[in-house]
């Protein structure tokens, strides 16, 4: 997990440890992320959604990316530096929701030409 993301974007306290997270105070209870990744997302009033666990399979990773994209207020973020995940999120129009890329980072600069 990227420690800088803790400072730049506060995480909802219910998030599981890991690179996918919900930014504190942003969820509007739209339930869209929960519908995209019900096996990963949780929901509790008054805080809203959170990652109750991190993806562990390729299908779950796809669902996590779908959840990031579905958030109506862009409350979900990715703090990791995995080139494949960064490229996938960027290709889906969510590069600005990747902590490593939202600060002007480039995938090649982050992971190098050998991909990780």
Q: What is the per-residue DSSP string for the chain? A: --HHHHHHSPBPTTPPSSSEEEBTT------HHHHH-TTTEEEETTTEEEESS---SHHHHHHHHHHHHH-TT--EEE----HHHHHHHHHTT-GGGBHHHHTT--HHHHHTTTT-
- Fold for 3-111, please state it: Alpha-Beta Plaits (3.30.70)
pTM of the model: 0.82
pLDDT tens digit sequence for 10-43: 899 999 999 999 999 888 889 999 999 999 999 9
Annotated domain spans of the chain: 3-111
């Amino acid at each position: 997990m990227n420690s800088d993301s803790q400072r730049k974007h506060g995480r909802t306290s219910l998030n599981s440890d890991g690179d996918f997270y919900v930014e504190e105070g942003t969820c509007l209870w739209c339930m869209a992320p929960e519908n995209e990744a019900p096996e990963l997302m949780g929901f509790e009033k008054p805080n809203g959604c959170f990652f109750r666990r991190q993806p562990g399979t390729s299908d779950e990773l796809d669902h996590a990316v779908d959840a990031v994209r579905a958030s109506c207020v862009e409350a979900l973020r990715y703090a990791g530096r995995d080139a494949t995940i960064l490229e996938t999120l960027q290709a889906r129009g969510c590069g600005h929701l990747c902590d490593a890329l939202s600060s002007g980072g480039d995938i090649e600069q982050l992971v190098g030409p050998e991909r990780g």
